[in-house]
Every structure is written in C-alpha cells, then in structure tokens.
C-alpha cells in the first residue's frame, strides 16, 4: 500500500508572507516614533525610576515606612510641581522638629470626647455640650482675669482640638515652661538627616550612582551616631561642622540627579506624618507623667509622715487635747473644720488663719484625717504651737459611723463647655470647680453638739480675719459659699436627667464655706445628697464619682447663701493669669487645680504667698529634705 503525504497549498504560503511584512512595517514605525519622542524631550513627562517601597529593606539598610500618602489624586504631576512640594515639606520640618524637641524635654493618655474617666481626686465633666475627661480641677469665679492667659483653650494639637480640652492643666503648664530651641546645630543635623533619608531610596536605585549612594548612606549613619549621643550643641563632636558641610554637598548632588520627585515627595510626607504622630505620642506621655506627679505624694512628704509617726510612738504619751476638752464641744466658740491627709497643707491653712486673726483664744480647729496620717498629725501639732488656738485631730475611721467614705479634701472637677458665641465643637471654654466630698456630708454626725462651723479646704491661704463670718445672718440657708455663675445647672443637664432644677442656678465652690449645722439637720441634706448620688451614679465607680458634682449642686439647690466675691480668689492651682492686685486683696487664696503649691509643678509666682506661712526650722523637714 502506498502512503499519502499532505502538502501545504500555495495560497496559504502567501498569507504568511503578508503577516510578516505587516509586523516588520509596524516595528519600523514604532522605532521612528520612539526616536522622535526622545528628540522632542517627551521622555521627561513619563514616569520612570523605582518606588521607594519597591526595594527590599536590605538594600538600603534603613527602615521603610508602610504608610503612603496619595499625591495629586492619583494623577502624575510635573517634576517642577513635585519639587516645589518637596521644598514646602522641608520648610515644615523646621517647625515640626521644634515641637518634638520641646515636648520631649518636658515631663494622660486621654480618652476620646465621649469617654468618662475620673481619678481619685478629680475628674473632668463635659456638659451636654462638652467633652468629658479625667482630671482634677476647680475654678474661681475670678476666672475672668485668668482668661487673659492665651494658653487656656487656645493652644491646639494637630487634631485641631483645643489643647486645654484634651490635656487639661498640663496644656497650661507645658506652655508656661516651654523652652526656646537654642541648639541650632542639633536642629540642623536633624533637618539634614530627614532630607537625606527622603532622597536616599531614590538615589540608591540609580545606575552609575553607586558612589553617591554609598556616600549618602555613610553620612546618614554619621548623623544618626551624633544624634544618639547629643542632646545639645555642647554634646556634638568637634568635627560636626565638617560633617554638616559634607552632608550639604551630598544632598545638593542628590538634588541635581535625575530623580522621580514624586517618590521623594512621598517619602517626605511619610516622615512628616511619623514626626507628627511621634510628637503627639510624647505630648500624651508627658501629660500622663504630669498627672502622675500630681496625684502621687512626693517622696519628701511621705518621708515626713513616716518619721513623725515613728517618733510619735517613741515619745511619751501626748494628752494635749485633754486640757482643752471644755472647748471642743462649746458652740459659742469659733469652730473650723478641715478634711486633710497632707501635713504641710493643713499646717499652712491653720497657721495663716490664726496669724490673721485678732483673737485666737476662741478658735478651735477640728482636723479630720485617716488612721495612716493620724499619729503624724498629732505629733506635728504637739510640736508646733499656733498662738492660743486649739487643735483637735480626729481619726474618721474611729468614729461610730455607718458610712466610711474615702477621705478627700474636696472633689475637684474640670468642666468643658461650648463657648456661647462659638457653636463649633472646637470652641470650648474650660472651668475649674471644687465641691464637697462625700466625707463632708458627715459633718452633722461628727459634730453633733455644734450649731455652725466654717469649713476650709487644706489648699487655702487665709489673708483676712474670718471672725466676721460668725455674725452672718444666713437667712435660713445651709451653706454660705462663693457662687460661680460661669457654670450653671443648665450646662450639666445631661447629668441631671429626671431631676427638678433651675437651669439658671449658679454653681458654688468649696474652699471657704460657712455651714449651718442646725439647718442642715433639719432639712436632712445628707440624705438628699445620697439619694441623688444613687440615682445619678451607676455600678461604675467612675460614673459614681462623676455624679458627685451635680449631686452636690442639687443637694444645696436653694440653700446657698452667696458670700461676697472678695472673700475668695480661686484658681491659683491652674490659672497663670491672675491679677497680682486681686491676689493681694483677697480674703482667702484657693489653690484649686492640679498645680498645688507644695508640688514642684506648682505655679512659681503664687508659691510665695503659701510659703510665708510654712513652718520654719523643723527638724523632721530638714531630715526629709522637704523644701516646696
């Protein structure tokens, strides 16, 4: 059998030749177009080079950044436009680095605007209009003067929220203690380092630029090494000028190279975002350390309390109070009550009161404290005399009381409220308030035989004779206090749900309060307070503490006898802008706020008024290095 072979027909062969000719013509045309484009310079408008993220980290030896900002809405922009953006970002770094430096040299992580967080001595409330936070606070009716201070409520962080709302008194303190950047060389080295890091990834991708890439990498490492050992210009090595000059030359060569400016722009934006995030982190960290320093007893004061306690048990029995038993329950004398655990604070409050009184023989001070500080206070007041005044130390834990609340000098709050003329949530004013703690509502039970007492906070300095307060006709009111009309009940309406109240009623402040105990017992204000606290609070301890402010205000609604404003000047613990003349003529100075005068964080210009009444030449203070 014969085999069969299939042959390709001649027409098909002609078709393949036609396809080959078309391909050749297309290649010729394309090559002509490419040549023409090169001659006309159109290649400058096409994207080229590598993204700074395309390279493996091992190629550069420096960390890569994961976050990229989109540029130009996804469209490629011209090299000239990108280069101008780079220059703008480089200028921004000068400001950003200043901020970072200033923050890191100073000593809250705070919640979002709708969170409610409190501490043992203070909290932050936001009115229905307000942002709630966590800080102690109080404010004076003379806060008008303090509003001159441009730092309060005006400084802002990068989120465009008022710094005062987010960071509280720390915002004021950090602004007051902000230092000018004097170390220009360190700043110059940092600026160069940021710019070099932005250019390096693009330079490292260029062919025939290996020498420039190695030189830039070496300069970056040298700068990092210098900054790891230097904080100020004095710490920099002697050859720093040559290194700065060398880096300038390297950066100039990098700028002269043919680079994709979009990649450099993206890298600069990454570094800028990272710097801003780092600055905000340091702000939070500094605010947290600031509040930690405020709420923690200084080591020297703790030492003083412990030394006095040990010495008390080594000393003979102290029965000084027994000789004054006839005065302790005599309603015809002037009885002052102070709740405190702070030896220095209560000592200054009592000393300033007796030093400014014409007659001290009829003055009786009842100091209510806890067991931990009871013996130290007994020895302190046994060792130090306060003219003819009688001092009685009361351990609240030894009293036969059903309730055993935490002993707090007062409850302090920071209330942030929308400015009436600025509807935007960013325009808020912050007010500081102090009111009675739950322990104060035990006054009628602790002093069963007394008719009237004057309650002082331990953070006050008295500058006037208080004897006239005992002659006040309180017109059936229970609590004589300075009213604070910058905060009204209407501002706290979100905390007063289902309660009857007058929205225009002014708040009142603790610090100096004249209390009619007979009227208190008659109206059973203590029972009213606990009922309100139970209704407004919840199982959360924080919420219960936050309810203390509105419960205080409602318990005394209609029962406040307004004292003249000249009696008390508040705000010395938070307001840098108080008038010196007002301080001089105030009857009582109230250091409400975070910056107590016995702390290092206290406002220096107000400390003198407090130190004037501090006990001098005390052996235990010298041993514990107590020097506020």
The structure's pTM equals 0.69
Under 8 Å between Cβ of 547 and 500: no
Strands in 334-339's sheet, in edge-to-edge order, are: 390-395, 363-369, 334-339, 452-456, 506-516, 479-488, 560-562
- pLDDT at position 507: 93
Is 70 exceeded by the pLDDT of residue 477? yes
Long-range contacts (CB closer than 8 Å, 24 or more residues apart) made by 78-82:
78/45, 79/44, 79/261, 82/261, 82/262, 82/264, 82/265
Which residues in 99-112 are b (16+ Cβ under 10 Å) and which e?
bbbbbeebbbebee
Which CA distances in Å does 5 have to 2, 8, 10, 16? 10, 10, 15, 22
- pLDDT at position 322: 60
Is 90 exceeded by the pLDDT of residue 68? no
What does the DSSP assignment read for 115-166?
---B-SSEEEEE-TTS----------TTHHHHTT-TTTTT-B-TT-SBHHHH
- pLDDT at position 406: 75
Percent of the chain with pLDDT over 70: 72
Rounded Cα distance, 403 and 270, in Å? 58
Does residue 494 or residue 244 have the better pLDDT? 244
Rounded Cα distance, 540 and 117, in Å? 10
Beta-bridge partner residues of 336: 365, 454
Rounded Cα distance, 36 and 293, in Å? 72
Is 60 exceeded by the pLDDT of residue 545? yes
pLDDT digits (tens, 9 = 90+) for 162-209: 677 778 788 888 888 877 767 788 888 988 998 999 999 998 888 888
Instruction: Assign 330 to helix, strand or coil.
Output: coil
Under 8 Å between Cβ of 608 and 625: no
Lowest mean pLDDT among 135-144, 202-211, 369-378, 586-595: 135-144
| CATH architecture assigned to 299-623 | Alpha-Beta Complex (3.90)
Does residue 83 or residue 294 have the better pLDDT? 294
90: how many CB neighbours lie within 10 A of its CB?
A: 15
Is 70 exceeded by the pLDDT of residue 285? yes
Both tokens assigned to 79: 């090299």
Does residue 268 or residue 514 have the better pLDDT? 514
Among 405, 414, 264, which Cα is nearest to 339's? 405
- pLDDT at position 102: 34
Is 70 exceeded by the pLDDT of residue 422? no
User: Stretch 535-543: mean pLDDT, rounded?
Assistant: 59
123: how many CB neighbours lie within 10 A of its CB?
A: 25
Rounded Cα distance, 593 and 175, in Å? 16
Is 50 exceeded by the pLDDT of residue 109? no
Handedness of CA 474, 461, 305, 137 (dihedral sign): positive
- pLDDT at position 335: 97
Under 8 Å between Cβ of 299 and 173: no
Beta-bridge partner residues of 98: none
User: Stretch 468-474: mean pLDDT, rounded?
Assistant: 94
Give domain limits for the chain: 299-623
Rounded Cα distance, 268 and 197, in Å? 8
Rounded Cα distance, 96 and 465, in Å? 53
Percent of the chain with pLDDT over 90: 42
Does residue 406 or residue 414 have the better pLDDT? 414
pLDDT digits (tens, 9 = 90+) for 564-617: 999 999 999 999 999 999 999 999 999 999 899 999 989 999 999 999 999 988
Mean pLDDT, the chain, as a whole number? 77
- pLDDT at position 6: 34
Lowest mean pLDDT among 21-30, 221-230, 275-284: 21-30
Phi–psi pair at 250, nearest 5 degrees: -65, -45
Rounded Cα distance, 86 and 254, in Å? 13
């Amino acid at each position: 059998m014969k085999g069969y072979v299939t042959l390709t027909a001649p027409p098909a062969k002609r078709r393949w030749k036609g396809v080959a000719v078309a391909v050749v013509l297309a290649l010729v045309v394309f090559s002509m177009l490419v040549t023409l484009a090169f001659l006309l310079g159109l290649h400058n408008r096409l994207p080229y080079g590598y993204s700074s993220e395309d390279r493996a980290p091992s190629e550069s030896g420096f960390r890569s950044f994961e976050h990229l900002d989109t540029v130009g809405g996804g469209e490629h922009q011209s090299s000239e436009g990108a280069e101008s953006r780079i220059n703008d970002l480089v200028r921004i770094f000068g400001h950003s680095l200043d901020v970072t430096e200033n923050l890191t040299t100073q000593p809250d992580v705070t919640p979002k605007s709708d969170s409610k967080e409190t501490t043992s001595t203070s909290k932050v409330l936001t009115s229905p209009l307000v942002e709630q936070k966590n800080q102690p606070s109080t404010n004076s009716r003379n806060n008008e003067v303090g509003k001159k201070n441009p730092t309060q409520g005006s400084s802002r962080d990068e989120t465009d929220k008022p710094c005062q709302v987010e960071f509280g008194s720390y915002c004021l303190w950090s602004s007051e203690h902000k230092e000018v950047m004097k170390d220009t060389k360190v700043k110059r080295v940092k600026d160069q380092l940021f710019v070099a890091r932005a250019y390096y990834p693009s330079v490292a991708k260029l062919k025939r630029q290996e020498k420039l890439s190695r030189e830039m990498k070496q300069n970056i490492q040298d700068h990092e090494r210098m900054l790891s050992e230097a904080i100020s210009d004095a710490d920099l090595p002697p050859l720093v000028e040559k290194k700065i000059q060398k880096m300038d030359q390297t950066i100039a060569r990098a700028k002269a190279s043919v680079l994709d400016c979009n990649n450099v722009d993206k890298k600069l934006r990454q570094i800028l975002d990272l710097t801003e995030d780092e600055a905000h982190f340091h702000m939070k960290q500094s605010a947290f350390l600031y509040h930690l320093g405020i709420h923690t007893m200084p080591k020297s004061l703790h030492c003083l309390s412990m030394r006095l306690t040990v010495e008390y048990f080594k000393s003979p029995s102290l029965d000084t109070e027994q000789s004054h038993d006839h005065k302790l329950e005599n309603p015809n004398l002037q009885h002052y009550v102070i709740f405190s655990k702070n030896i220095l604070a209560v000592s200054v409050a009592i000393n300033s009161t007796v030093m400014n009184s014409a007659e001290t023989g009829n003055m009786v001070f009842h100091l209510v404290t806890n067991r931990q500080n009871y013996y130290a206070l007994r020895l302190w007041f046994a060792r130090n005399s306060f003219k003819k005044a009688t001092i009685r130390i009361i351990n609240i834990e030894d009293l036969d009381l059903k309730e055993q609340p935490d002993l707090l000098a007062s409850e302090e709050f920071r209330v942030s409220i929308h400015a009436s003329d600025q509807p935007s949530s960013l325009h808020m004013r912050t007010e500081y308030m102090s009111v009675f703690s739950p322990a104060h509502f035990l006054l009628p039970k602790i002093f069963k035989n007394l008719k009237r007492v004057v309650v002082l906070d331990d953070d006050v300095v008295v500058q006037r004779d208080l004897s006239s307060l005992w002659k006040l006709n309180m017109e059936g009111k229970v609590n004589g206090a300075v009213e604070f009309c910058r905060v009204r009940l209407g501002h706290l309406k979100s905390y007063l749900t289902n309660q009857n109240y007058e929205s225009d009623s002014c708040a009142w402040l603790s610090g100096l309060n004249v209390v009619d105990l007979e009227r208190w017992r008659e109206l059973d204000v203590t029972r009213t307070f606990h009922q309100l606290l139970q209704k407004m609070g919840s199982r959360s301890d924080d919420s219960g503490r936050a309810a203390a402010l509105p419960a205080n205000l409602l318990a005394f609604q209609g029962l406040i006898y307004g004292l003249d404003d000249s009696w008390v000047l508040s705000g010395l613990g938070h307001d840098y802008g108080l008038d010196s003349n007002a301080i001089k003529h105030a009857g009582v100075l109230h250091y409400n706020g975070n910056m107590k005068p016995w702390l290092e964080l206290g406002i220096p210009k107000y400390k003198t008024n407090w130190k004037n009444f501090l006990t001098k030449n005390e052996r235990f203070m010298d041993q514990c290095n107590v020097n506020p």
